[in-house]
Amino acid sequence: MEIAVLDKGFVRLVEVMGSDASIVQAARVSYGPGTKTVREDAALIDYLMRHRHTSPFEMVEFKFHVKAPIFVVRQWFRHRTASVNEISGRYSVLKEEFYEPQAWRKQARRNKQGSEGELSDEEASLLLKGVEREAYQAYQTLLEKGIAREMARMVLPLNLYTEFYWKQDLHNLFHFLALRLDPHAQWEIRQYAKAIAEIVKAHVPLAWQSFEEHVLMGAHLSRTELKALQGLLTPELYEKALKELGLSGSRLQEALEKIFPPGHQL
């Protein structure tokens, strides 16, 4: 499975070890085939996700082949919980392939490291192309002079494409996706995260459903935020709202105790 990303990049699934059943098997410490129903398996996976029992999710591993601009990859490699192998500019002559954005973004006014909106600027696009052309010509000239590849690459810009293999367990992959699917992440790396999310969802649908419910679309409250909610709600009103959304039984009680723990006083 390969998904095109940006103008020349991609994410390709190389192999997967494990599935939703592997998570369930590890949690039940069972070496035989599962005897539970899909519904029961989904409930167990959801319990593990809610309570942050992470080790069963580590039983599933994904290996990807990725092609991305260097500036994206340098952000990516800050996630140091994977096994990675990148093409080496010391051993190989790097290809003349550069990321060229279809639109430019303006510097964000409030976020010093972010961007916002779009800016059409033909001059900026021409400037980028000129830098690419001159840099790669300089790279080739240095190689022709006999300069070592490990030194000649110094002149190449950060929008040059590179390739790497990335192997990571599902627990840490979910952490990567939680950060890189966030709207505050740089737009380019979010496109790669979306491609990976599509692949992960297809292979571990039950785990993805719980991840989306409790992490990706969920939120953690601070003590102050929790106090504010407790001042606005009553246990009765909150219970009624939860029931209307389909929660019942132990799951309902668990949700109630998040906001109104045992011994809580108004």
Measured CA to CA, the distance from residue 33 to residue 128 in angstroms comes to: 57
The answer for residues whose C-beta is within 8 angstroms of residue 81's C-beta and 6 or more apart is: 168, 169, 172, 175, 176
Tokens, residue 198: 């599509």
**pLDDT for position 134:** 97
- Written as tens digits, the pLDDT of the chain (266 aa) is 899 999 999 999 999 999 999 999 999 885 455 557 888 899 999 999 999 999 999 999 999 999 999 999 999 999 888 999 999 999 999 999 999 998 888 887 877 777 877 888 889 999 999 999 999 999 999 999 999 999 999 999 999 999 999 999 999 999 999 999 999 899 999 999 999 999 999 999 999 999 999 999 988 889 999 889 888 888 899 899 999 999 888 889 988 988 888 866 55
Distances (CA, A) of 67 to 72, 105, 139, 176, 259: 10, 22, 21, 17, 44
Helices (H), 31-186: 38-50, 70-76, 122-144, 149-152, 170-180
Measured CA to CA, the distance from residue 227 to residue 236 in angstroms comes to: 17
Which one-letter amino acid corresponds to residue 104? W
180 annotated active-site: yes
Annotated binding site for FAD: 55, 78-80, 86, 169-171, 175
CB 65 within 8 A of CB 163: yes
pLDDT in tens, 193-202: 999 999 999 9
**pLDDT for position 31:** 47
Among 48, 24, 49, 50, smallest CA distance to 38 is for 24
Annotated binding site: 55, 75-80, 86-90, 153, 169-171, 175, 180
**pLDDT for position 33:** 55
pLDDT in tens, 92-134: 999 999 999 988 888 878 777 778 778 888 899 999 999 999 9
Tokens, residue 229: 């909610």
- Determine which one of 74, 180, 190, 251 is catalytic: 180
- Euclidean distance between the first and final Cα of the chain, in Å? 54
Residue whose structure tokens are 């496109």: 191
Annotated binding site for dUMP: 75-78, 86-90, 153, 180
Measured CA to CA, the distance from residue 204 to residue 173 in angstroms comes to: 12
